[in-house]
Amino acid sequence: MKKKDTVLLLGVISILLLVSVQLFIIKGIWQQKDEMFILRYTLRSQEALKYMSRRMAGDGFDTVRYILRSYSVKANKDIHAIRDPRALEDKKKEILEFFTGVVNREQDLADMLASYFERRGFDNKFQITIAVNSLEMIDQDTIIVFRSQDFINRLSQERGGKSPSSEMSKSKILVNWFVMEDNNYRFAFAYYIDFTDKQKQLLKETSIYFGLSIFSILVVIVIFIVTYRNLREEKRLSDLKTDFINNMTHELKTPLSTITVAGKTLEMEQIRNNEEKILETAKLIGKQSIHLNQLINMILEISMWERTQFQLDKKTVDIEEVLNDIIDAFRSGCGNCAAINRKYSFNGARVDLDVIYFTTMVNNLLSNAVKYSEKPPEITIEGFMANDSATISVSDNGIGISRNDQKHVFDKFYRASTGNIHKFKGLGLGLYYVKKIAEAHGGSVSVSSRPGKGSTFTINLPH
C-alpha cells in the first residue's frame, strides 16, 4: 500500500475511534443525567407527599376510598357466594378491574402533585402509572384477588430470597407505595409519574457536551484534511522535482554529448585537412554551447526569481508593432515552421510593457504551439483592447491538454504526463515563466484546451 493510502486509512480509523469514544462518553453523561433527573423528582415528590400530609386533610384518595368501601361490601358477598372455580376467577378479574379503574380515575394526587411542582417552578407535565401490587378481599376469611410478581418477590425476599429490582422504577419515578385498607379489603399499589418532556430536558442539559464533542470531531476532521492535502501537495512537488532533475539531465546531456563528439571529430587527421568540415564542426560546437548556456541561464534565472521579485523595465509601446516584430523573428528563426494566422488589431493602442520579458512570454507560447503538435502546426494569434486591458491569445491545432493537466501546466517544473514525456523535450519551466511575467505586469494567463484538438492560451495585460 502507498504511504498516502496508509495515512488516509489511519486517519479514517482514528476519526472513527474518536467518534465512538465520544459517543460512549455522551451515552454515559446521558445516563447519569437521567439518573439524576429521576433522583431529583423522587425526592421532590416525597417532599410533596410530606407537605400534603402536614398541610392537607386528605392524601388524594378520599373519593377512591369512598367508592371502594360500598363496592367492596357487595363484592365480598358476591365472591363468597360463588362455588364454581372458573366463575370465581372471572369475578376476581372483574373486582381487580374495578379497583384499578377507580384508583386511576378518581385519585386527586396527580393534580395535587402538579400544583405543588408548579408552585415551586418545577416541571409539572407528567403522566401517572399505577401498578397494582396486591388486592385481598377480607370477610370471615381473606381471598387473594391478585398478587403481582413484584409482591411475590418481596415476600420471598423477606423470607431470605433475593429480589430482582423493580423493572418499572428504572425509567419511571416512584412517588410512593400505597396500602389502602378497611374491614372489607386490602389494596396495595405503587404510584409512578413519568415526565412527558424528560427527553427534551435531558437533551437541553446534555446539549453543551453534544456541541463540544461535535465541535472537537469537526476540528480533528478539518486538521486531518488539511494535513492530508499538504502531504499530497508535498508528494506532488517532490515528484515534480525528481522529474525536473531527470529532464534537466537529459536536456543538458544532449548538447554536451554533441560537443564531445565534435571535439573528437576535430582531433581526427582527415578532418584537420578539410577546412570546410572544421568550420562546420566549430559552428556546431558554437550552437550547442549557446543552447547549453541558454539552459543554464534559464535555470539560474528561475532560482533568482525565487529569492527576489524580478524587476521590469517598462516602456510605453505600440503593442501591435511589438507583436508583429516577435512573430516575424519567430518565423524566420524556425524557418517557416508553422502557418501563422494573425487576427489581432489594437488600433494603435500603447501599453506599458517590458519588451524583453514580453517577447520571452509570447515566444514561449509560440514555441510550445510548434513543439506540442503532431500535425503541421497552424497557429492563430488574436488580440484586441477591451476594458482598458490588452488581450492576446495564441491558439494551435496541437495535441491539446487534458482537463487535469490544465490545472497544473503553469506550475513550476510541471510537464503533462500524457504520452511519452521524452518525446517532447522540455523542463516544465516555459509556462511557469509566462505566468510569472504576466503577473509581474499585473495581468494573468489562462488556458482552454481539448485533447487532440488544440489549445488556446490567453494573456491579459492591464493598459
* Long-range CB contact pairs, 65-71, < 8 A, 24+: 65/180, 65/182, 67/102, 67/106, 68/99, 68/102, 68/180, 68/185, 68/187, 69/182, 69/184, 71/98, 71/102
| Residue 434 C-beta: closest distance to ligand ADP, Å | 8
Residues 369-388 that bind ligand ADP (CB under 6 A): 369, 372
Per CB under 6 A, 173 contacts ligand ADP: no
Q: Which stretch binds ligand ADP (CB under 6 A): 17-25, 90-98, 208-216, 391-399?
A: 391-399
Per CB under 6 A, 428 contacts ligand ADP: yes
Closer to ligand ADP at the Cβ: 184 or 449? Answer: 449
Neighbours of 10 (CB within 10 A): 11
d(CA 329, CA 321): 12
Per CB under 6 A, 409 contacts ligand ADP: yes
| Residue 368 C-beta: closest distance to ligand ADP, Å | 3
| Residue 237 C-beta: closest distance to ligand ADP, Å | 15
Per CB under 6 A, 401 contacts ligand ADP: yes
Name which position in 379, 427, 459, 461 contacts ligand ADP (CB under 6 A): 427
d(CA 166, CA 390): 86
Sheet of 378-386, strands arranged across:
339-344, 378-386, 389-396, 454-462, 444-450
Per CB under 6 A, 251 contacts ligand ADP: no
CB hemisphere CA count around 63 (13 angstroms): 10
d(CA 50, CA 44): 10
Name which position in 430, 436, 445, 460 contacts ligand ADP (CB under 6 A): 430
| Residue 344 C-beta: closest distance to ligand ADP, Å | 18
**CA dihedral (326, 332, 337, 339) positive or negative:** positive
**Residue of 402, 429, 392 whose CA lies nearest to 414:** 429
Q: Coil, strand, or helix at residue 131?
A: strand
Closer to ligand ADP at the Cβ: 92 or 436? Answer: 436
Q: Which stretch binds ligand ADP (CB under 6 A): 175-183, 288-296, 366-374, 382-390?
A: 366-374
Angle among Cα 296, 438, 387 to the nearest 5 degrees reads 165
d(CA 377, CA 371): 9
Closer to ligand ADP at the Cβ: 8 or 295? Answer: 295
Neighbours of 316 (CB within 10 A): 9
In the block, cell 380515575 appears at 105
Name which position in 414, 436, 460, 461 contacts ligand ADP (CB under 6 A): 414
Per CB under 6 A, 435 contacts ligand ADP: no
Per CB under 6 A, 438 contacts ligand ADP: no
**Residue of 124, 101, 6, 116 whose CA lies nearest to 50:** 116
CA dist list (Å): 151 to 68, 99, 147, 371: 22, 17, 6, 96
Closer to ligand ADP at the Cβ: 383 or 400? Answer: 400
Q: 104 is written with which cell numbers?
A: 386511576
Closer to ligand ADP at the Cβ: 123 or 396? Answer: 396
Name which position in 91, 415, 436, 441 contacts ligand ADP (CB under 6 A): 415
The answer to whether residues 357 and 333 touch, using CB atoms and an 8 Å cutoff, is no
Closer to ligand ADP at the Cβ: 351 or 365? Answer: 365
The answer to whether residues 193 and 173 touch, using CB atoms and an 8 Å cutoff, is yes
One character per residue 100-119, x = contact with ligand ADP (rule: CB under 6 A): --------------------
Instruction: Please name the helix (run of DSSP H) or strand (run of DSSP E) that holds residue 235, with its range, or none.
Output: helix 198-267
Closer to ligand ADP at the Cβ: 63 or 367? Answer: 367
| Residue 269 C-beta: closest distance to ligand ADP, Å | 41
Per CB under 6 A, 431 contacts ligand ADP: yes
Q: Which stretch binds ligand ADP (CB under 6 A): 19-27, 300-308, 344-352, 408-416?
A: 408-416
Closer to ligand ADP at the Cβ: 48 or 326? Answer: 326
Where does this chain bind ligand ADP (CB under 6 A)?
Answer: 368-369, 372, 396, 398-401, 409, 414-416, 426-432, 455
